Structure 1
Amino acid sequence: MSDTDLRQESVAGKIIISRKNIEDSGVSTAYELLKRQPAVTVSAKGQLGLMGMPGYTQLLIDGVPAPAGKNPLDLDVVHIEKVEIVRSAMAEFGPFGSAGTINIVSRKINRRNLSMLRTGVTASALDKGANLAWSTNIADDVSPFSYAAQVSVSKSRKHVEEQSRLSEANAQADVAIVQRSDLWRQNDSQTLLGAGTIAWKYDKSNTLSLDPSWMGMQFDNRSRDSSIWSPLGRGPMFSAQAVESPFHSFSLPLKWETVPSAGSKFSLSLSPTRFSYRKELARDELFADLTTRVRQNQQHSDRKADFIKANYSTRAEAHTVKAGVTVSRNTEDTRFGYLLNGADDVSLGAFGLTKEAVDNKLSLFLQDEWRVDSSLSVNLGLASQRRFMQLHEGVFDSRIRYAVTSPSANLTWRENADSKNQVRLGIAKTYTEPFADQLSARPDINPLSPCPATGQCGANPPEFADTVGNPQLRPERAIGVNLSLERYLTADSLITLELFARQFRDTVGKHLELMNVVWADQPRYVLRPENLGTAWSRGIGIELQLLTSDISPSLPKIELRGAVNYAVSRISLVPGPDNRIAGQSPWTAKLGGEYKLSSLPLKIGADLNLLPSGWIRSSDINRSYSNHRFDLGASGTWTFNPKLKLIANIDHLASNRNYSEEEFGSLAAAYSSRSTIRKIEPTLGVKLDQRF
C-alpha cells in the first residue's frame, strides 16, 4: 500500500512516511525529512511541530520518549524505517502530545539482501560539514537468522556572527544605548552512531531479536564577545568561553515477538540504556578596570534508563484491539565543580556539588479500532501514566508525584464504501509532561550578571536574568478537538481542510519575575517555567498533496505539496496584546514540489517556508519579536542508474539575516530593549547514494 492509502485507512488519519519515500527524499536527517512535510510547521526559531505548536507536539522513538541527550530530529535517516504523524491523539502513543505526535520508527530487518552507502558534504560562508552513512540487510527464506546493521558518521563546524544592542528608556521615552556587543561563536560537533539487529525466528510463531546501539558525540564550542558599556563598569568588556561536551550512550534492547493465534501478536521488550555526559566550561572575562576573572565549571553525569514494555494486539471481526504496559526507571548521578580565579566558587553552595534523581513511571493503554460498517469507523482509547520522581540537590529535596488519564476518540465517516472522501473527528484529553530539567531547583547564573566568589550574589537587571527550573510545576492539561475533511482528487492527490481547538489548564510558560532566591542576598530576576492558568488555541489549516498529471495527462508530471495554517491563542494570566502560546505564529505557509525531466535523468525540487514577523508576550514585563522568515531551498537529483544517485541541494537562498528584539519592563515606566542581528548564509550540500 502507498503512504496515501495507509493514511486513508487509518481512523485517526495517521500520516505515514515510508522507507521508500525516505530514500527517495535525498535528505540526511529526521529534521530535514519532517521540515518538508505539509503537516509539520516550522516556528520562528526553527522548531518543528504540528498545528503551529512545537512545544506541545510529542516526539517519540519507537513509541517511547528518547533518553536525555538524544534528539530524535538529529537521527540520520539510515536509522529510520518510517515516521508516523498524528495530529489528534491515540492511546497507543500515551496520554501526552496535546498538539499531536511524531513517532520515529527504527530501521527493521527486511526479508531481502540490500546494502546502501551514502556520503555527503555541506558548505557555506559560515559552515561546513561531512557525513557518511552505511546500512546492510542480510536475510533469506532458508536460514532462521537475519541481520541488519547501520552506521552513520558526521562532522560539522558552524559559525554564528551576531550583533546586539541593549537600550534603556525612562517613562519620558528618553532612550540611551547601554551596551553594544559583537559575538562570534564556533560550534564543532562529531557524531558516530552504530545500530544493529540480530533476529532468530526459531519457529513459525516466535522471533527473538537483539538490537544493540551505540552513540558517541563530541561538542566543542568556542565563543568571543566584545562589548562597549555605558557606564563602563556594568559588565565585561571582553569574554572568551570554551565548552567541551562529550556524550556516550549504549543500549541493548531485547525483544520477543510471538503470534499466539491468527490475527494476534504479543511482544515483550526489555531495554537497558546507559549514558554519560560531561561538560567542561572555561570562561575568561576582562572588565574596564583591567580586572580579569577566570571561571571554570564542570559537570559529569551518569544516567541509566531502563524499561520493560509489553504490547498485545488482536483482530476479531470488525475490531482491532491493542493494549500495552510500560514500566520505566531513570536514574541520574551528576557531580558539579565551580572555580573562580582558581578558588572554590561558593555562590551555589546551597545546592551542593551533586544531583541525584530517580524517576519511575508506569504507563498503560487500551485501544479499540472498530469498523462499524462500510461508512463509519471509530477508534476509542484510554491511556494513563503514574510518575514518581525524587530529586536531591544539596539542601533541596523534591518529590514530584502525579497520575494522569487520557481518554481519546477518533471517528471517520465516508458517504459510501466506494467513496474515498472522508470526514474525521478527533476528541481527546491530553497532557504535556514537564521535562526533568524543568523540575530542577539548581539555577544557571547569567554570565553578564555574575556572583562574587566571596558569598551570595547581588541584584541583577531583567535583561540578564538567571534561569532555573520549578519543582512545583504541574503537568499541563488540555481538551482538544480536530475536525477535518479529506477530499481525494485522485489516488495520490488530496486536499485536507482541518479545524482544530485546544483548551488548556495549568498552562506551562516561561515567566520572568523579580524574586527572593537562596543564591543572592538581594532579589534577582529569574526566568523559570510556571503554570500560568488557562489558555486556548483555535485554528484552521489547508493541506495540499497533488500530482499534476493525475489531473490532466497533458500537464507536466509535477508533485506539489503545500499547507497554510492560521491560528489564534490566549493565556489568561498574561496581559495582552501579543499573549500567544509560545512558538505559535498567527499564520504559517509552505509550498514545495518536484519535477522529473523527461529528457534527462534529473529531478529538481524546491521548498519554501513562510512565517510572519510579530511580537509574543510571555509575562507582564517581558515580550519578544522575531522578523519574518522566507526560507527557500532547492534540490536536484541525477540518477545514473537505479542504484546510483547524485543529490545536490541549497538552503537559505533568500535569507541573509535574522532580526529579533526582546523588551523587559513596562512601556508605561522604565524599560530596556535588546535587539539582535544574526547573519545567515546560503548552504550547499552534495550527496552520493550507492546501493548494492
Structure 2
Amino acid sequence: MKTLHLTQIAAAVFTLCWAAGARADDLAPKEPEAPVMQKIEVKGAAASYDARRDDTASKTVVSSEEIQKYGDTSVNDVLKRLPGITIGGASGRSGGEIRMRGLGAGYTQILINGERAPAGFAIDSLAPDVIERIEVLRAASAEFSTQSIAGTINIVLKKALKAAQHEVKLSEGKGSHFSSPGLSLQMSDKLGSTSYSFGGNAWRYMYNRMTPSFEDGADADGMPNLRRSATWRDQGRSDGFNLSPRINWTLENGDTLTSQSFFNLNQFASNSHSRTATELGAGPDYDRIDSTYSAHNGFGRTDLNWIHKLDQGAKLDLKAAISDARNTSDSHQVGGNGGLPATLYRIVTSESSEQGFSTQGKFSRPLTFGKPADGDDAALEHAISLGWDAGVTQRDDSRIQRDADLPGSDPINSDEGFSAKVTRLALYGQDEWNLTPSWSVYTGLRWEGLDTRSEGNTFDAVQQRSSVLSPLMQTLIKLPNKKDQLRLALTRTYKAPSTAALIPRKFTSTNNSQTEPDRRGNPNLKPELALGLDASFEHYWGEGGLLSASASVRRIENYTRQGLLYEDERWVSTAINDGRAETRGVELEAKFPLRVLMNNAPALDLRASVSRNWSRVESVPGPDNRLDQQTPLSATLGIDYKTRDNQLSTGGNFSFRNGGPARLSATQGGYSSVRRDLDVYALWKLDPQNNLRVAVSNLLAQDYTTETLYNDANGSLNRTSVANGETQLRVTVEKRF
C-alpha cells in the first residue's frame, strides 16, 4: 500500500509539473519590442546541440561539472543521484552494485571508454576527477556490446582539451567510524599540434565498524528451534590511486593520433572478529572467528586511436589496446567453539592475472539521397557506419586453501587452479537517417560471438561457444509544436555468463548452512536472451525545462538464478538456467529552472524523477518472485542554486530506494530495507584560482537491513544483517595554477 501511495504521489507531481510546463511560455518573461533596432542572437551548432534531445538513438549525457558537484570520491556516489539508477547495499559502503531498471547481476552493462573492465576491477574505485562524462543508454545501440538487457552506462575518461588547465585538490572526508583523505592533480596543455592531459588521484580509506546479525529458525510446525545473535567487528585500511595520461597529435593532413592510458592500483588490509551467542538450538560450527585479510589489485590499459578523414565527409576510426590486471589476496582464519581451544586454522591464498588485447574499427560516411530538383521536399540524409570489435583475454587463476589438522577439527584442503581464454568478435552496421525534418530513424544489426575455453587441475577441460544476432531499431518523432517528441525502441539484447560463473570450482564457507552456502560455477550455463520495447514522451519548455515519461518491457529467455544444492553434507550454491522472466517499468522525470515559471525568480534549478519497476520469474512461485531482487521503486529530488555573481553554488539531493521481500526460488528468499540518502553541498569561488567545496552526504544516517531466507518442508531459517548508517562530511580545497 505504501508503494502504491508513493506512485500516486509521483503521478500527481508529474501532472502538476506538466501543467506548469504547458503554461511556461505564458509565464516566462518576454522581451519588449525594440522601437528602432531588433536584436538577433546567433548560436553555434555545437553550443545548441543536446544529445538527449537531438540524437535518434536515446542517450543521456552527464557532464563533468555535474559529476564533480558534490566532491565525491567514488563514481557510485555520482550515479546514485541520476534518474533511474540505483546502487545496491548500504550508504557509504564500497562494493555496491550499479543497477538500471532496478536490475544488477550483469543485466546492467558498465563500460569504461566503451569497453568492459577486467574481472576484479572495482568500478567504485574510479575517481570522478578523471571522468569527462557519463553516457546513459537505456536502449541498446550497435556500436556498443548488446550485453545490456537493463541498459548501458559508459564512463568516458577525460580526453577533450578545452583550455590549458592545472589544478590540484586536497580533500578530507570524515564520519563517525571512518576517515578518507584524498589528493587529485589535473594538468593539460597544448604545444603546437600536440596536446596532452594528465590526471592523478590518490586516496586512503580507514574504518572501524560493528555489524550485528541474527539467525532465527523454526520447525515444520512453526515452533522456534533456533535463535542466535552475532557481532562482527571489522577494521581496515584501503589505499589506492588512478593515473590517466593522454597525448593527442594532429597530423598535417588533418588526421589525429591519440594515446590514452589508465592505471589503477589498490591495496587493502583488514582484521575482523566475529562472536556468536546461541540462545536456542544448536550453535554454529564456530562461535568465534578471528580473521585477517589483505589484497592487492592492479590494472593497466593503454590504447592507440587513429582517426583518418576521407573524401565526402567519410571517416575511418581505428583503435588497438592492451591491458593487464593482477590480483592477489591472503586470508587467515582462527575459529573455535564454547571457549575451548581453536579447532580451525585456515590459510587461503589466491592469485589471478588477466591479459587482454582488443581492436575496434569503424567506417562512417554521410550520404544524401533523393534530393529533389525543385527543393520542395527535404533530401534523405543518412549517417552510415560499419565496424568491428574483437579481442582475446587470457586469465590464470589459483586458489590454495590449507586447514591445520587440529584436535576436533574437520580439515578442508584444496589446491585449485585454472586458466581460461576468452575470444570475442563482433561485427555491426548501423544507419541513422532523417526521413523528414521531424522524423528520424536509427537501425542497427550487431553479431557477437564468444568462445570460452578453460582447463584446471580439478575439472575436465570446458569449452563454450555462443553467439547472438541483435537487430535494433530506434525512432524519434518531433511534433509540430517543436517542444514535444516521441521515442520508440525495439531491441534484442543478452547477458553472457561471466568466466568465473562457468568454472566448476568450489569456494567453501566457514559456517556452512542454507543461508551461508559454498559456491561453485556451472559450465553448462547459457546466455540469457531478451526482447525489449521502450517508448517515451518528452516535452521541452522554456530554457532548460524537460518533462518526460517512459515505459519499457523486457522478455527474457534462459533466465539465470542461483540454485541451492545439498551435496556431501554441505550446502552449495550454483547458477542455473531456469526458464523465462519478464520485467516492466515506467519512469517520470522533470527538471527546469525556476525562472521559466515566474518573473525575477532566484537562480534555482529543480529536478525530480520517479521509477517504478515490476518483474516476474515464471519458474518461481509468487508472490514477490521478482527478477534479481529488483528494486521496485526509486526516486530522486534535487535543487541547485547560484548567486548572480556565480561566487556561491549550493544545493541538495534526496534519493529514495524501496526494498521489500523477494522470492528467489521455491525455498529461497530475501529482504532489503528502504534506503534514503540526503546529500548537500556548497561551493565557494574565493577567487579565479581558489575554490572551497563542502559536502555532507547521508545526512539521515539510516541503517540498512538485509535478510536471507530459507523455507522447506522441514522448517525455516532466517538470517538478518544490519549495516549501521553514518553521515560523512567532506571538505575539498581546489587550486588552479
If the length of structure 1 is used for normalisation, what is the TM-score? 0.92
* Structure 2 CA distance for partners of 1:607 and 1:173, relative to 1, 3 Å: same
Does structure 1 residue 495 correspond to structure 2 residue 544? no
- Secondary structure of the residue aligned to 1:93 is coil
Aligned equivalent of 2:562: 510
Deviation at 1:239, TM superposition (A): 0.8
The partner residue of 1:673 within 680, 699, 718 is 718
Aligned equivalent of 1:401: 465
Does structure 1 residue 581 correspond to structure 2 residue 639? no
* Structure 2 CA distance for partners of 1:78 and 1:618, relative to 1, 3 Å: same
Aligned mates of 1:678, 1:476 — CA distance in 2: 33
1:504-583 alignment runs, 5 A limit: 504-514=556-566, 516=567, 522-583=568-629
Aligned equivalent of 1:392: 455
Instruction: Give a deviation string over 1:278-334, Cα, whole Å, max 9, x none.
Output: 111111112224233211011122220111111222222311122221221111122
Instruction: After superposing the two structures, state which structure 1 stretch, 471-480 or 339-348, moved more.
Output: 339-348
The partner residue of 2:477 within 402, 407, 413 is 413
Aligned mates of 1:97, 1:245 — CA distance in 2: 30
Aligned equivalent of 1:41: 86
Give the fraction of aligned pairs with identical amino acids, expressed as a percent: 24
Does structure 1 residue 243 correspond to structure 2 residue 293? yes
Aligned mates of 1:498, 1:373 — CA distance in 2: 24
Deviation at 1:15, TM superposition (A): 0.6
Aligned mates of 2:59, 2:645 — CA distance in 1: 37
* Structure 2 CA distance for partners of 1:51 and 1:145, relative to 1, 3 Å: same
Aligned equivalent of 1:323: 386
Q: Which amino acid aligns with 2:327?
A: Y
CA contact (8 A) 1:39 1:543 kept: no
Aligned equivalent of 2:334: 284
Aligned mates of 2:262, 2:586 — CA distance in 1: 41
The partner residue of 2:140 within 89, 94, 102 is 89
- Secondary structure of the residue aligned to 1:438 is helix
Instruction: Give a deviation string over 1:183-237, Cα, whole Å, max 9, x none.
Output: 1112421112212122222213322222233222101122110112355653212
1:155-554 alignment runs, 5 A limit: 155-229=204-278, 234-288=284-338, 289-317=340-368, 318-341=381-404, 347=412, 349=414, 352-396=415-459, 397-416=461-480, 419-449=482-512, 461-514=513-566, 516=567, 522-554=568-600
* Structure 2 CA distance for partners of 1:505 and 1:345, relative to 1, 3 Å: same
* Structure 2 CA distance for partners of 1:234 and 1:583, relative to 1, 3 Å: closer
The partner residue of 2:194 within 145, 150, 153 is 145
Aligned equivalent of 2:655: 609
The partner residue of 1:113 within 160, 164, 184 is 164
- Secondary structure of the residue aligned to 1:620 is coil
Aligned mates of 1:302, 1:325 — CA distance in 2: 26
Does structure 1 residue 650 correspond to structure 2 residue 696? yes
Aligned mates of 1:540, 1:137 — CA distance in 2: 42
Where do 4+ consecutive residues of structure 1 move more than 6 Å? 342-346
Q: Which amino acid aligns with 1:331?
A: Q
Instruction: After superposing the two structures, state which structure 1 stretch, 285-294 or 21-30, moved more.
Output: 21-30
- Secondary structure of the residue aligned to 2:129 is helix
* Structure 2 CA distance for partners of 1:166 and 1:27, relative to 1, 3 Å: closer
Instruction: Give a deviation string over 1:544-577, Cα, whole Å, max 9, x none.
Output: 1111112223332211122111121100111111
Deviation at 1:591, TM superposition (A): 0.8
Instruction: After superposing the two structures, state which structure 1 stretch, 36-45 or 161-170, moved more.
Output: 36-45
Aligned equivalent of 1:519: none
Q: Which amino acid aligns with 2:527?
A: P
Q: Which amino acid aligns with 1:414?
A: K
Deviation at 1:669, TM superposition (A): 4.3
Does structure 1 residue 28 correspond to structure 2 residue 78? no
Aligned mates of 1:327, 1:375 — CA distance in 2: 36
- 5+ residue gaps, structure 1: 450-460, 517-521
Deviation at 1:44, TM superposition (A): 5.7
The partner residue of 2:636 within 560, 565, 590 is 590
- Secondary structure of the residue aligned to 1:549 is helix
- 5+ residue gaps, structure 2: 1-45, 91-95, 369-380
CA contact (8 A) 2:84 2:610 kept: no
Deviation at 1:430, TM superposition (A): 0.4
Aligned equivalent of 1:453: none
Q: Which amino acid aligns with 1:604?
A: T
Deviation at 1:152, TM superposition (A): 0.8
- Secondary structure of the residue aligned to 2:153 is strand
* Structure 2 CA distance for partners of 1:68 and 1:2, relative to 1, 3 Å: farther
* Structure 2 CA distance for partners of 1:293 and 1:90, relative to 1, 3 Å: same
- Secondary structure of the residue aligned to 1:437 is helix
| Cα RMSD (Å) | 2.2
Aligned mates of 1:326, 1:607 — CA distance in 2: 39
Q: Which amino acid aligns with 1:247?
A: N
Deviation at 1:109, TM superposition (A): 4.1
Instruction: After superposing the two structures, state which structure 1 stretch, 246-255 or 558-567, moved more.
Output: 246-255
CA contact (8 A) 2:225 2:281 kept: no
Deviation at 1:120, TM superposition (A): 1.1
CA contact (8 A) 1:301 1:332 kept: yes
Does structure 1 residue 64 correspond to structure 2 residue 109? no
* Structure 2 CA distance for partners of 1:636 and 1:566, relative to 1, 3 Å: same
Instruction: After superposing the two structures, state which structure 1 stretch, 26-35 or 391-400, moved more.
Output: 26-35
CA contact (8 A) 1:43 1:583 kept: no
Aligned mates of 2:49, 2:182 — CA distance in 1: 31
* Structure 2 CA distance for partners of 1:348 and 1:15, relative to 1, 3 Å: same
- Secondary structure of the residue aligned to 1:446 is coil
Aligned mates of 2:209, 2:449 — CA distance in 1: 42
Q: Which amino acid aligns with 1:286?
A: G
Aligned mates of 1:508, 1:649 — CA distance in 2: 40
Aligned mates of 2:732, 2:71 — CA distance in 1: 8
Q: Which amino acid aligns with 2:664?
A: S
Aligned mates of 1:548, 1:2 — CA distance in 2: 22
Aligned mates of 1:605, 1:2 — CA distance in 2: 25
Aligned mates of 1:600, 1:201 — CA distance in 2: 36
Aligned mates of 1:292, 1:669 — CA distance in 2: 30
* Structure 2 CA distance for partners of 1:346 and 1:371, relative to 1, 3 Å: farther
The partner residue of 2:150 within 99, 120, 130 is 99
Instruction: After superposing the two structures, state which structure 1 stretch, 475-484 or 46-55, moved more.
Output: 46-55
Does structure 1 residue 51 correspond to structure 2 residue 115? no
